[in-house]
Amino acid sequence: MESFLNFFENIPSELRSGIFVGGLLFFWILEGAVPLFKISYKRWRHAGINVLFNVMALIVGLGFAWLLLTTSDFTTANKFGLLYLVDLPVWLHVVMGVLLLDLVGAYFIHWVEHKVRWMWKFHLVHHSDTNVDVTTGLRHHPGEIVFRSSFTILGVLILGLPMGIIMFYQTLSVIFAQITHANINMPRSLDRALSLVFVTPLMHKVHHHFERPLTDTNFGNIFSVWDRLFGTFAQVENTTELMYGVDTHMDPAENDNVGNLLAIPFQKYRTLDKPVTDDSAAATN
């Protein structure tokens, strides 16, 4: 297990990039072969916008990398954090670290973003995608990365996590972001069985429905147990009921404009006076 942690602590950047790019290409191809929704849109333009947001997110994330490393080194050197209160075997430290970092650094901040209006306006950029596919997992406003990075660092400080566990978790997070957003038609029985423990493609698609109450469910990143434990888990029987996007921002001219998307958090908050009826905004099965 020590060698396992050492590997992820020193994981080559080429391998991390290979996992990221390879996953995108794999699910991009799979979406064309077995799509969950047959949706017509400009895939390359859509991907280009989402990749651009990912580049901006990476730049912001680099600004937090030193603080994350410093926090991790501090907890390790001083045996500081909840997971150091008892003498855990290394394997259990890894398991509990990944589980609880998923709670603090992913589930909890995601839930908060949906509850605090000014934070929601940053997260709304992710939800504004009306054509959810593997590239949607890349679509986050740079301001949202500040929230997410801060809660990850907070989680590391509270729990006490070495960089090997953090890098292992982040690798898993990249893979799950691609799987859960990918427009792939997984067998319903398999999806539901896996969702007992993990976040699955259909489970997360429910979260991307355009209106409440479904928008405010299924906040999990890797593990579905947090949604089940805190009562935020939801399923739908018929995928044709799902319409992606946000009811206040369904205009394609807005959602395909990078400048407008970056400005959303600073625009006056809007409410929807009547439900969306434009069938072109819905995905059809």
Please say if the pLDDT value at position 31 is more than 90: yes
Domain that holds residue 75: 13-266
pLDDT band with cut points at 50, 70 and 90 for residue 30: very high
Q: Which residues pair with 209 in a beta bridge?
A: 244
What pLDDT, in 10s, does the model give residues 77-116?
Answer: 999 999 999 988 999 999 999 999 999 999 999 999 999 9
In a domain, 285, yes or no: no
- The per-residue pLDDT for 281 is 38
- The per-residue pLDDT for 202 is 93
Query: Considering its fold, how many domains does the chain have in total?
Result: 1
In a domain, 278, yes or no: no
What pLDDT, in 10s, does the model give residues 153-200?
Answer: 999 999 999 999 999 999 999 999 999 999 999 888 999 999 999 999
**Number of CB atoms found within 10 A of residue 64's CB:** 17
In a domain, 181, yes or no: yes
Please say if the pLDDT value at position 283 is more than 60: no
Q: Which percentage of the chain shows pLDDT scores above 70?
A: 94
pLDDT band with cut points at 50, 70 and 90 for residue 277: very low
What pLDDT, in 10s, does the model give residues 203-256?
Answer: 999 999 998 889 999 999 999 999 999 999 998 887 777 899 888 877 777 788
Taking each continuous run of H as one helix and of E as one strand, the counts in the chain are 13, 0
What pLDDT, in 10s, does the model give residues 41-50?
Answer: 888 999 999 9
In a domain, 234, yes or no: yes
The 3-state DSSP class for residue 225 equals: helix
Q: Which residues, including other chains, have CB under 8 Å from residue 274's CB and lie 6 or more apart? A: none
In a domain, 282, yes or no: no
- The per-residue pLDDT for 269 is 65
Q: Which residues, including other chains, have CB under 8 Å from residue 72's CB and lie 6 or more apart? A: 156, 161, 162, 163, 166
- The per-residue pLDDT for 151 is 96
In a domain, 276, yes or no: no
Give the closest residue to 129 by CA, choosing from 51, 55, 210, 204: 210
Tokens of 229: 């434990």
Please say if the pLDDT value at position 278 is more than 80: no
